[in-house]
Structures are given as structure tokens and as C-alpha cells.
Structure 1
Amino acid sequence: MAKKDYKKMATEILTAVGGKENISGMTHCATRLRLNLKDKSIVDDAEVQAVEGVVNVVNKAGQFQILIGTEVPKLYDEFEQLVGGKIETSKSDNSGESVSVVSKVFSAIAGIFSPLLPALAGSGVLRGLLLLLVQVGWVSETSGTYTILNSTSMAVFYFLPVLLAFTSGRRFGASPYISALIGASLLHPDFIGLMGDVGNGATTSFFGMPVVLMNYNSTVVPIILAIWIFSYLYKFLDDYIIESLKLVIVPLISLAIMVPLTVIVIGPLGVYGGELVANVVNYLIETSNILAGIAVGGGWSVLVSLGIHWAVNPIMINNVSTYGYDYIVPFTFACNFAVIGTTLGIALKARNKEIRNFSLTGAFTIALSAIIEPTLFGLLVKNRKLFLAQIIGGAVGGAYLGLMKVTTNAFVFGSVTTLPAFVGDTSGNFLHAIIGLGISLIVSLVIAYFVTSKEEKLA
């Protein structure tokens, strides 16, 4: 297989979207290059989609989204060099299309979390495998092996404020390194030691001002809020402090203002706010868990196709970080296994070699990497009956998972390789997970088989 020329691909995409002058912001997620365009009317979607390596083009959530696949980070690096790195986000859209607050939030979430997804997914799988080894008796919880592997698998969650600070700094246009220092300050042993044995809610003072102390390890909301506010301070300092003094003065003022402001005001509000949202979501799931399984298991692919599923990811990450488990992740598994079932149903029925090969490749890709977008856009969204087949399969399997209150102990993407995330202390959790995912796969496979004609083609 010939090696892809990402520089050539980036150049052609940039030309097709109107050049760097037409770009007001850019980021990427696990599979898509996401562009904020000043004038969308000058862009020909067909020309962009004709670029070799582009799977599909989507205009959703206030962004021009170009589906590439899992190699999108390599393309993004080349694209960023062509654009010139720093981009000033325009305050108005020349096309006259207003971008909603919700769209901006979705865009920000994608930009903040997407660089961390490999670390979160890898750590989650390692955590699941470690729990499995403990349960079968191969590793003791009192051994050095367990401590080393447990520390490795949980480090990404413990130091999440530092990692999120860095990516938030990049997304909001502040120094990612100063941002990371702000996050690290919240995890310093001396700061945590101020809480003593009291824990969250302990108090201290800062120049006479009362400070309610919180434990910020594994938290999500406080640091994102803090860096968002910091970005305005940073840009102000960057504009008004003379160049010769920036090296020292900008980080000095930034740290001296933002760390106290975070621990006094932003942090407690963020912690309580994040816990409130998570509690509400978890309450709704536990109150009507079957309905939640139907809605998320069946509707997750719709959110993915619109590119707005990122809004739910922080809730799942927060649940795992705070409670050690999550109810929503299993429903996303149901969706992915339903897509696998649909592709297998097509492959069993269709005679056309091209569509059978594409279907089997999609099933194999999802089973290993949990990436469903190429299959969604390349096959399912073009055929309403097949798209409905995977929705029904995901909904039925999700209903079972909800009924049995299946959880995962980590934030992972739904694939065969991440099944260890279902291993936990709850009796029967793994078994019910396998049954629920099997239901999703079989139901969608059967429906897809019957709605697929033998003469079905890819185009």
C-alpha cells in the first residue's frame, strides 16, 4: 500500500476551502479535521470530498467537518504548518451565518478532549486488563506489580487537570505551558495537605480571604473554566506588556492571579457544578435506565454523524473519575456493535464484491479501533434501511444494558479490544455486557440481512 502524502492532501484541502484567509479556527477529533470558516459560501463540498483520502464532508455544529479517519492527526500537523499556526478567530462570519453558543461549546469540547483520547482509551483498557488479572488470581493487589500497573492506568485521571489545562490553553489561545502550571498547582502535595483529614469543604485563607478547599485530582470542569478565563487575561497581557518583559511578567502575573482566583472562586463552583450535572445525568439513567439505553444506544450514531457526540464525553469521563464507573459508555458500545452487526448482515447477503469488502473492512476496523465514522458515512447514511437497522440493534441492546445496569470502570471506545472495561466488582456485569452487545449485533445483523438486496451496491 502506497504511503499517503499528507502534505499534498492538506494543500488540496486548504485550496478547496478557500485558502488560509478563509479559516478562522481549526482543530481535529479522532477522525475529523474541523474547520471554522469565515465564508462557507465559497467552498464547494464536492471539490473537498474529491481530495484523495477524504471520506466525507459534514457541515454541523458551526463547523466544516472533513472526515479523514484515524490518521487525521498526521494531516492536521501538515495543515497547521500550511495555515501558519496561530489563527485569529473572527468575531463575525462573512457568510452571515451566526454560530450558536451550543455550537461553540461543542467545538471547544472537541478541541480540548480529542488530543487526550488515545491516552484515556489506552489507560482504560490497561485498567480493565489489570482488574481481570486480579480477579483470576494472577496478580495480587498487595504486590508491586499491581501498584505499578494501577498507577500507570490511573495517572491520566489523577493528572487530568494538568492535561486538560494544556489542551484548553491551546484551544482558547493561551500559553499551554502556563495553563499546565495552573493545573499542576491544584495537585501539589502541599496544597492537598491543607485539607488535612477533613477533605472537600475544609477551609483556609489567602491574605485574609476565606478559601474553601477541594480535591481537584480527576476533575474536569474547574480547570476548563479556569483556563477559559485565563485566556482573556493572557491575551490582555500579551497585547499590553512590552516584548522585552513578556518572558517574565506574563507568567508571573498569570500565575499570581489565576491560581488564587481558581482555588477561591472558579474551582469550587466548577467542582459542585460538574458533580451536579453528573448527578442529574446519573439520576435520569437510574430512574429510567431502559429508556436511556434505548435513546443512547439507538441514537449515538446520529450524534456521531452530526459530530456533536463530544458534548457527552466529558460527563462519562467525569463519572469514571468521580465514581469509578459510568452507565453511558456501555450504551455507546451497543451502538458500535450494532454497526458491526449491520456490516456483517450486508456482507452475508450482498453479492457485489466491493460492498462486501467495504462492509467486512468496516466490521474489522470497529472491532479493533471502535471508529465507526468511515462505515457510517461510506455505507449506512446513504441507505436509510441499513441506518435504521443499526439504530434498532443499538436501541434493543442498549435497553438490555440499561435494564441490567451495566457499567464500565473506564472511559473507552466500544470495541472488542476494550471489553475488559466491563470487568469490575459487580457480579455478572461482564456477562450482562456480553449479552447486551450480542443482542445489538445479532438484531442489527438479522434486520440488515433482510433489508439488503443481493444486488446491493456501495454507491
Structure 2
Amino acid sequence: MTYEELILFILEHLGGRENINQSTHCATRLRFQLKDKSLADTAALENHDGILSVMDSGGQYQIIIGTHVDKVYRELETILGASVNSSISLEDQQTKAQLKSKNPIAGFFNVISGIFTPLLPALAGSGILRGLLMLAEQFGLISVDSGTYGILSAASLAVFYFLPIELAFTAARKFGANPYIAMVIGGALMHPDFTHLMGDIGNGATTTFLGIPVVLMNYGSTVIPIILAIWIYSYLERFLEKWIPTALQLIFVPLIGLILIVPLTVIVFGPFGVYAGEWIAGTINRLIQSNGLIAGALIGGIWNVFVVFGLQWAVNPIMISNISTIGFDKIVPLTAAANFGQAGATFGVILKTKNPKMRSFATSALLSIFFAGITEPAIYGVGIKLKKPFIASIIGGAAGGAYMGANQVIANAFVFGGLTTIPAFIGPTLAHYLIGLAICFTVSAIATYLMGFEEDVI
């Protein structure tokens, strides 16, 4: 079946294109806002070979497709056209609907997901490049003083250094603001004229703005301040566009926005965001540091449950912040433990099942984890569908996660745990990381094989 045929089938069973208010996608899912959810034929959609599962979460009707969802979504855009997609105003409607949904927590996670998802390829690619560069340096293949190293190092670190500008763009798209003005706001926080004010003191240096005290911070690689700033700017922009004549908006909307939001950010949002982010990250890191075994077992075991409900987006910014500010993170390895727990359970299904169709799908899902670190196909198409393998994945993830946590395994980049992302874990704890992955995979595979599953539900 072609992507076009798949999209036409989905549209037909969602109640027609006229029943769709908005559509977006993440790493594996098509996400719809429907006018009337009762028109959606969930049973028919779930029984289609090209669809792994269907969920209704956070005010969205979600169709899990797999790692090729971006290609399916492009076909959806082609069929639906600009009337439904690629509109800032419609993204704004979606965001407001999520934030006002009956489940505001789920709505919040969906917003965070929408902000970070577009950056995942850049974060993953940069992380792998950083790992390979470190590996080449350790083996003496490249000198840290060479121009080659400098150029590749800049390429691997740029995504983290300029994170406020990148997040300004994606946050503006999500909140319905002008993304280019948002980028200027992010850029102002990193401009040499601003950073020069800190002098030799750095974070905590003070200055004044119109007589108001300002605590200065280095906002390179930070996450929370710029998201708060663009969220507030989105409301200011809509207010200004409502009251300023159309002919004058081109000049005065960005002018007033920059005059108000940049100072407000460095006076209020910036310090609050930096300190709040440091406190959250510090709390989690101290938990792992004080009792790594328990923290590792908990995170490694529960992470795939987080993925099912989309809750991982609450933790992803913390991992990204750790990487960008202190250069490493201890949560990323534990998420990889969960990935390999799911991989082991999927492998157990491959060994145990007598259904050729399930064996073929499970093999494809296993390769998705190994080469892309994407677990949704295995979670929805194997684990949850057969139930016991999902339990086995939790057991294996907890076992390997406990080992990694006890040995304080670190990651040098924010990546999805798979075989291709091993370079991101190069360092003194690499051996413990690999042993932990082996534990996750082996325990889950054995648990799946021993517990078995009901073939007649396949």
C-alpha cells in the first residue's frame, strides 16, 4: 500500500478531511485534532497493517505509524493542503486547545513535545559526531590543536550553544508567534554586547536597566528562559496585532516586542528559568548520585511507560540541559536501558512466536531500536499488543538500569539509545554502559520467552 492510499484510508476513517481541525506529527505518530471524535472508527484504523496503534491523549487523536511517519505526514500535507496544515494561526489554535484541555498536564507535555521534536535530528546528529570526535582523539587519530578538530568540534557543539535561538524558533511556531522575531529575542540573549556586561564575574554579575537591577546570566545552551520568553511574547504579539493598525504592524509589533520582551527576559524570566532548571536537574542528578541503583532501576523500568503516555517530554529538556551545561548526563543511559529492555522483549517474541507475520513485524521493530533508537513500533506493535512482553521489557530495563545507575554511567550527548549511538557514551563508563545494555536485552528476552504470550491475540 502506498502512503497516499494509507492517508486516504486514515482520512476516511477519521470522518473525512472536514472533521480535521489540525494535524501534526512527532517521531512516530500522526497527531490530529478532530472536530468530532465520535466519527473516528478506531477499530478499523487499528486493524490496518500500516498502523501500529491508536490513542486518544491530551486532546489529540494519535495514530502510531512508525519511524517513517514523516513521509506519511508529507503525503498528508499534499492531500490536505494549506487549508489545514502549515499555518501559524492553526498551530496557535492547537496549542491553546491543548493548554485548555481537560487534562492540562497532558496538554503541557504535548506543547513541550512540539517544541523539541523538530530539533531531535540536529541533537542526535551532533551527539554522534561529538562521540566520534572524542573517539578519534582518544585513539590519536586527530589532534585537539588541529584545524580539523576545531571545525568538527564547532559542528558538534553548535546545536547546544545556540539552543536558545533554535528553541525560540520552534517555540514561536508552537505558540503561534512570529518565529523570526522570536529568533532575534533569543539572539539578543547571546549577543556579545550583552555577554560583555558580565565581565570576568560571569553568572551572578549585576547591572541595571532603567534603574531596575538585573542579575546577568550566560544563556548559551539554556532551555527554560527562552521558552518562557516566547510564550509571553506570543500573547503580546496577538495583543499588539489586535490594536495596532495593519499598515503599522510591520514596524511597531516587532519594535515594541523587542523593547519589552528582551529586558523582561533578562530581568525576570532568565534568572528564574536558569535557577529553576538548575534546581530540577540538580535534584534528579543528586538522586542518581546518592542511590544510583534504585534510581537506575526506577527510570530504566518505567521509561517505556512514560513513552506510552508521552510523559518523556517532561524529562527530555532536563537531559538536554545537563548535556549543554555540564557536558554529560546520567539519565540518557537509563532511557537506553529501557530501549534495550524493549529490544530484548521483542527478540524474545521473534524466538517464541509461531506467527510469520508477527515475526516479520517484530524483526522490523527490533531493527528500528538498534539503528534509530525508536521504540514505539516495538512498544505498540509487540509489547502492548501481546501484554507480557511489555512487562518483560520493564523487568529487563529495570535490571540493566540498576546496573548502569550503580556504576554512574554517563552520556556525552542527548541521543536515543541504539547501536548507532554508542559513540555518544564513549568515556570512562562505556564498558559499564555496554554491560548494562547486555543485561537489559538478555533479561527481557529470557523473561519474554519464559512467560510466553497468547498466540491467538496476534
Residue 440 of structure 2 aligns with an amino acid whose one-letter code is: S
Equivalent residues of 2:116, 2:170 under 8 A apart? yes
Superposed, which structure 2 residues align to 1:61-210 within 5 Å?
61-79=58-76, 81=81, 82-84=83-85, 85=87, 86-87=89-90, 89=93, 98-210=101-213
Deviation string, structure 1 residues 382-415 (Cα, Å, up to 9, x no partner): 2222111111111100000011010101100010
Task: Identify which of 25, 28, 31 aligns with 2:25.
Answer: 28
Q: What's the CA shift for 1:35?
A: 2.7
Residue 99 of structure 1 aligns with an amino acid whose one-letter code is: K
2:224 is aligned to: 221
Following the alignment from structure 2 to structure 1, what is the Cα–Cα distance between the partners of residues 236 and 331? 36
Following the alignment from structure 2 to structure 1, what is the Cα–Cα distance between the partners of residues 76 and 363? 31
The answer to whether structure 1 residue 251 and structure 2 residue 248 are counterparts is no
Deviation string, structure 1 residues 23-53 (Cα, Å, up to 9, x no partner): 5554322111223445433333224445663
Task: Identify which of 329, 343, 346 aligns with 2:346.
Answer: 343
- Percent identical among aligned pairs is 52
1:332 is aligned to: 335
Superposed, which structure 2 residues align to 1:437-448 within 5 Å?
437-448=437-448
Q: What's the CA shift for 1:21?
A: 5.9
Partner secondary structure for residue 3 of structure 2: coil
Equivalent residues of 1:58, 1:66 under 8 A apart? yes
Following the alignment from structure 2 to structure 1, what is the Cα–Cα distance between the partners of residues 194 and 260? 16
Following the alignment from structure 1 to structure 2, what is the Cα–Cα distance between the partners of residues 285 and 419? 21
**Is 29-38 or 146-155 further displaced after alignment?**
29-38
**Is 119-128 or 277-286 further displaced after alignment?**
277-286
Following the alignment from structure 1 to structure 2, what is the Cα–Cα distance between the partners of residues 134 and 83? 49
2:55 is aligned to: 58
**Is 77-86 or 159-168 further displaced after alignment?**
77-86
Partner secondary structure for residue 250 of structure 1: helix
Report how many aligned residue pairs link the two structures: 449
Equivalent residues of 2:132, 2:424 under 8 A apart? yes
> Which 5+ residue runs of structure 2 have no aligned equivalent?
none
Q: TM-score, normalised by structure 2?
A: 0.92
Partner secondary structure for residue 66 of structure 1: strand
CA 1:90 to 1:393, structure 2 compared with 1: closer, same or farther past 3 Å? Answer: closer
Deviation string, structure 1 residues 235-289 (Cα, Å, up to 9, x no partner): 1112222222222221111112111111111111111111111111111222222
CA 1:364 to 1:51, structure 2 compared with 1: closer, same or farther past 3 Å? Answer: closer
Q: What's the CA shift for 1:325?
A: 0.9
Following the alignment from structure 1 to structure 2, what is the Cα–Cα distance between the partners of residues 403 and 134? 28
Following the alignment from structure 1 to structure 2, what is the Cα–Cα distance between the partners of residues 133 and 90? 45
> Which 5+ residue runs of structure 1 have no aligned equivalent?
none
Equivalent residues of 1:38, 1:90 under 8 A apart? no
CA 1:456 to 1:9, structure 2 compared with 1: closer, same or farther past 3 Å? Answer: closer
Partner secondary structure for residue 340 of structure 2: helix
2:394 is aligned to: 391
Residue 444 of structure 1 aligns with an amino acid whose one-letter code is: S
**Is 187-196 or 164-173 further displaced after alignment?**
187-196
Residue 236 of structure 1 aligns with an amino acid whose one-letter code is: F
Residue 72 of structure 1 aligns with an amino acid whose one-letter code is: V
Equivalent residues of 1:28, 1:110 under 8 A apart? no
Equivalent residues of 2:285, 2:330 under 8 A apart? yes
Partner secondary structure for residue 381 of structure 1: helix
Following the alignment from structure 1 to structure 2, what is the Cα–Cα distance between the partners of residues 421 and 315? 17
Partner secondary structure for residue 62 of structure 2: strand
Q: TM-score, normalised by structure 1?
A: 0.92
Q: What's the CA shift for 1:99?
A: 2.0
Following the alignment from structure 2 to structure 1, what is the Cα–Cα distance between the partners of residues 136 and 123? 20
Following the alignment from structure 1 to structure 2, what is the Cα–Cα distance between the partners of residues 205 and 51? 62
1:452 is aligned to: 452
Residue 93 of structure 2 aligns with an amino acid whose one-letter code is: T
1:314 is aligned to: 317
Superposed, which structure 2 residues align to 1:374-453 within 5 Å?
374-424=377-427, 427=428, 429-452=429-452
Equivalent residues of 1:379, 1:458 under 8 A apart? no
